[in-house]
């Protein structure tokens, strides 16, 4: 789906004009249908990597290809954005219309899609994110989680193969986070979309097929959720947490209780205990 080869992204510091590297010589392949989570604390380069993936920024060196199209080729850029849609942290920044269904139709209209097909796409997108009953509502009256689901529907209506989500739950309350995560899981499992999720919530990362951990522009850990979170001390050294249930198992093990250290769910721990 996405192939990154030796990509580096440099920018000029606003403070002293020095050249800073946000992403350093990264090579990575993301498979079609994969659910990939990228973790890292602020400034680790994860958002920069996401923006490289759909051509919002172009690598200073190296290449990024989306379904075989290089982001450096200007004539490809709209095709790339159609294939790899991006959802940002603040849904208010992505909502442009005063009625929900008009907002979801905004992208397809700009692509010049016939009205009949736009209608079908909007209905399908709102159905997937379970917001059909709100289609005539004003977006600013919705909850944070509902707004983010409308923003996701707006991307879905463009019919992408891949959806990149940059901390989509960061500004939401716990209920909103659950709503959005359920939508993301559905997009991956039911709609067969490739999902790239950037988050700092460890319980969201548990759902992934594969996790990348970034630090200072480099990928420092890579593996399945079990492989990553079983290395409790290493993850903490990087300034990140592990899921609470994994930490509990880790503390029990330290107290001499013979228990696995790759537990990711409460159900799993209850069964073992």
Domains of the chain: 2-224 (3.40.50.300)
| pLDDT mean across residues, the chain | 92
pLDDT value for 118: 95
Give, rounded to a whole angstrom, the gap between the first and last alpha carbons of the chain: 41
pLDDT value for 110: 87
- Whether residue 6 is predicted with pLDDT greater than 90 in this model: the reply is yes
pLDDT, tens only, 13-58 = 888 888 889 999 999 999 999 999 999 988 899 999 999 998 999 9
- Whether residue 86 is predicted with pLDDT greater than 90 in this model: the reply is yes
- Closest to 8 in 3D by CA, of 27, 34, 35, 32: 27
Q: How far apart are CA 134 and CA 113, in angstroms?
A: 23
Contact 40, 52 (CB under 8 A): no
**What would the mean pLDDT of 158-175 be, rounded to a whole number?**
92
pLDDT, tens only, 179-188 = 999 999 999 9
Q: How far apart are CA 197 and CA 212, in angstroms?
A: 10
Instruction: Give percent of the chain above pLDDT 90.
Output: 78
pLDDT value for 99: 96
């Amino acid at each position: 789906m996405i192939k990154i080869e030796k990509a580096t992204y440099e920018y000029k510091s606003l403070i002293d004009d020095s050249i800073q590297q946000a992403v350093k010589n990264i090579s990575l392949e993301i498979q079609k249908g994969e659910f990939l989570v990228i973790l890292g604390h602020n400034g680790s380069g994860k958002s920069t990597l996401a923006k490289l993936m759909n051509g919002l920024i172009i690598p200073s060196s190296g290449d990024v290809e989306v379904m075989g199209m290089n982001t450096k080729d200007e004539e490809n850029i709209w095709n790339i954005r159609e294939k790899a849609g991006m959802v940002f942290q603040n849904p208010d920044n992505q909502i442009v219309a005063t009625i929900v269904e008009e907002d979801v139709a905004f992208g397809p209209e700009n692509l010049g899609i016939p009205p009949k097909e736009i209608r079908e796409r909007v209905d399908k997108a709102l159905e997937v994110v379970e917001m059909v009953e709100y289609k005539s509502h004003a977006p600013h009256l919705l909850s944070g989680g509902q707004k983010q689901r409308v923003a996701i529907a707006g991307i879905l209506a463009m019919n992408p193969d891949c959806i990149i989500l940059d901390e989509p739950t960061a500004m939401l309350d716990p209920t909103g986070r659950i709503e959005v995560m359920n939508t993301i899981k559905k997009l991956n499992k039911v709609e067969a979309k490739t999902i790239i999720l950037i988050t700092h919530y460890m319980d969201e990362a548990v759902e992934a097929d594969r996790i990348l951990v970034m630090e200072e522009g480099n990928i420092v850990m890579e593996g399945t959720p079990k492989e990553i979170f079983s290395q409790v001390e290493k993850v903490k050294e990087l300034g990140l947490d592990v899921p609470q249930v994994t930490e509990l198992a880790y503390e029990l093990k330290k107290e001499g209780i013979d228990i696995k250290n790759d537990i990711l769910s409460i159900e799993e721990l209850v069964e073992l205990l």
